[in-house]
Amino acid sequence: MAALDNAAGAGETAAGESSDFITEFIKEDLAGGRFDHVHTRFPPEPNGWLHIGHCKAFYIDFSMAEKFGGKCNLRFDDTNPEKEDSSYVEAIKRDVKWMGYDWEDREYYASDYYEYLYELAVKIIKKGRAYVDDLSEEEIGEYRGTAVEDKNNITFTPPGRNSPYRDRPAGENLDLFARMRAGEFADGAKTLRAKIDMAHPNLLMRDPVMYRIRRESHYRTGNAWCIYPMYDFQHPLSDAREGITHSLCSLEYEIHRPLYEWFINEAEVFPSRQIEFARLNLTHTVMSKRWLLRLVREKHVEGWDDPRMPTIAGLRRRGYTPEAIRNFVSQIGIAKTGSMVDIAFLEYCLREDLNKRCLRAMAVLHPLKLVIENWPAGRVEELDAVNNPEDEKAGTRKIPFSGELWIERDDFEEIPPPKYFRLYPGSGGQPGSSVRLRYGYIVTCTGFDRDEAGNIAAVRCTYDPSTRGGNAPDNRRVKGTIHWVSASRAVPIEVRVYDYLFSAERPMEVPPRPDGSPGDFTDNLNPRSLEVIPLAWGEPSLADTSAGDLRQFERLGYFVRDTLPGGAEGGHARPVFNKTIGIRDTWAKIKEK
């Protein structure tokens, strides 16, 4: 794994050393009288589910408002009816609430501003600063021009060409715009464009489109409109309508800021200020709704909430907590320079949280029978087990112990490798190994049995009754401790073990395929990202868990009971537990490098 890419240069580090330039800008605005209060907004487009990158965005939006005693709106920028849906709205609201943020009565929709936006467009037309264009989408792009390289490999943007319709009189433009709204023209036949500068070095300022004709039913307004505002026109004017003082955006919108300010100035509305910050990028992860939607549609995953997805819903099913995610986002800080954050740091923040809150349990994922030959027939003891060594208030629980147990298959080796401290049989006149059974007794291996196919079917041991609790009164050296569950009292469970969805640290960096064709980010998908264990065994306490309950399976990692229905109604004969993360911390080793 790679560590942070120099932690983003301008203060974005895993240790939380952030320059927090946004706070400084806001302080300057308040001190200089530009604003006398702070009002931010989180403006998702309802065309997909939120992912962890959005967590950084709304953490900044909500925390800045809270820091300065202000307010934060939740506004859906829903001006693209072809891709938007009410189900996305509900998913977004559910995820923001789960993350611990409340917008109270400040829920807004850009679609509620359609009439307001239309009137502002009319105002800009009357000022001679917008015109109706008959050029097609392809022709607009051709007239705008593109960046090129000269013979010295210097990139520049030659001036574009004015549309032949650019100098239409304001009255004609007003008439055509009204007829666009009335539905007189076919889709794509006309657009409304801002009249700025076709020689501007920023291509976005070369007469951008403000409205286009689309006969698409909108999930909120139905067929009331056949023209829809473009994002760059709608967004600043929606901010102004809500009195947003600070429009906090990810860094890709920096090039849009001149246009943001141009529309505010020409519309003569509230002077919202746009400030950009570096977006979050994680190793082994893609952070774009466009690519995530492809994964869903092409069935590389089971849905938006697949536990391998970086969506908030997927992280929730995986067992992530809001507290761990918020701590992660706060520690990476706010910077102006982009970076790639190692996913191991996110996992570190999660382990820190889960270690404090998770009750312990024992489970065996790959079972092998252990038979204690000298255990009294039919006897079952109740042993005391600690629920959480990090929390004395968590108390203890009783777990049954009997003469037949399930242990992990890799806790026994017929021929042990060097420095193997678990169970193995004796050889060459030497006795078999001894191990502690967690909370139970010390046992010594006496042999093993094979089934008809020659596979190891059971391990035979004897136990020392004087070692209850795992302590040897004679202080003998026993290096290994293994976990177990009583075979007669074990609870059958299904376990899903997840790995990174992408094998590559940077999934979007794809080499050409062997046949020379361009690679695709799906080439980097990890074929072993999911292992389903249909039958594992857990201690009886796991039967009392509910969906979303977290447990540390001792020695194995952290697991969560799946939030989808279990049992017969969910298509599963037994409770399903998803592996959240292993116990071993890789971040500490990364920091040492």
Model confidence at 339: pLDDT above 90: no
Please give the pLDDT value at position 543. Answer: 93
Please, which pLDDT band fits residue 570 given cuts at 50, 70 and 90? low
Distance CA 27, CA 331 (A): 21
Please give the pLDDT value at position 563. Answer: 80
Report the candidate in 281, 283, 285, 280 with the shortest Cα–Cα distance to residue 501. 285
Segment 303-320 shows an average pLDDT of 97
Distance CA 524, CA 193 (A): 41
Question: Do residues 495 and 579 make contact, with C-beta atoms less than 8 angstroms apart?
Answer: yes
Annotated catalytic residue, options 279, 460, 506, 591: 279
Segment 228-253 shows an average pLDDT of 97
Model confidence at 14: pLDDT above 70: no
361, with CB counted inside 10 A (0-12, 13-18, 19+), is buried
Q: Is residue 45 annotated as part of the catalytic site, yes or no?
A: yes
Q: Is residue 422 annotated as part of the catalytic site, yes or no?
A: no
Annotated catalytic residue, options 12, 45, 84, 347: 45
Segment 552-563 shows an average pLDDT of 95
Distance CA 107, CA 97 (A): 13
Question: Do residues 129 and 120 make contact, with C-beta atoms less than 8 angstroms apart?
Answer: no
Model confidence at 592: pLDDT above 90: no
* Alpha-carbon distance values, 441 to 6, 8, 81, 151, 383 (Å): 50, 52, 66, 79, 10
* List of residues 6+ apart from 267 with CB closer than 8 A: 120, 123, 124, 237, 240
Dihedral over Cα of 405, 406, 407, 410: its sign: positive
439 φ/ψ angles, rounded to the nearest 5 degrees: 70, -5
Give the SS3 label for residue 210.
Answer: strand
β-partners of residue 513 are: none
Q: What is the pLDDT of residues 501-534, one digit of tens each?
A: 999 999 999 999 989 899 999 999 999 999 999 9
Report the candidate in 400, 454, 444, 446 with the shortest Cα–Cα distance to residue 422. 444
DSSP for 426-450, written as a single string: -BTTBPPPEEEETTS-EEEEEEEEE
Segment 290-308 shows an average pLDDT of 96
Q: What is the pLDDT of residues 180-211, one digit of tens each?
A: 999 999 999 999 999 999 999 999 999 999 99
The pLDDT > 70 percentage for the chain reads: 93
Q: What is the pLDDT of residues 420-479, one digit of tens each?
A: 999 999 988 889 999 999 999 999 999 999 999 999 999 999 999 999 987 877 777 899
Annotated catalytic residue, options 71, 289, 336, 574: 289
Q: What is the pLDDT of residues 60-85, one digit of tens each?
A: 999 999 999 999 999 999 999 999 99
Question: Do residues 450 and 457 make contact, with C-beta atoms less than 8 angstroms apart?
Answer: yes
Please, which pLDDT band fits residue 336 given cuts at 50, 70 and 90? confident
Among the ranges given (265-269, 360-364, 379-383, 467-471), the one the predictor scored with the smallest mean pLDDT: 467-471
Model confidence at 156: pLDDT above 60: yes
Tell me the domains of the chain and their CATH numbers.
20-277 (3.40.50.620), 289-359 (1.10.1160.10), 363-483 (2.40.240.10), 493-592 (2.40.240.10)
Q: Is residue 289 annotated as part of the catalytic site, yes or no?
A: yes
Q: What is the pLDDT of residues 404-416, one digit of tens each?
A: 999 999 999 999 9
Model confidence at 147: pLDDT above 50: yes
Question: Do residues 302 and 61 make contact, with C-beta atoms less than 8 angstroms apart?
Answer: no
| CA triple 533-539-543, angle to 5 deg | 85
- Cα 509 to the chain's mean position, in Å? 20
Report the mean per-residue pLDDT for the chain.
92
Characterize the bridge pairing of strands 130-133 and 456-463.
unpaired
Segment 315-321 shows an average pLDDT of 97
Dihedral over Cα of 435, 438, 442, 444: its sign: negative
Please, which pLDDT band fits residue 249 given cuts at 50, 70 and 90? very high
Model confidence at 19: pLDDT above 80: no
543 DSSP 8-state letter = G
- Cα 592 to the chain's mean position, in Å? 26
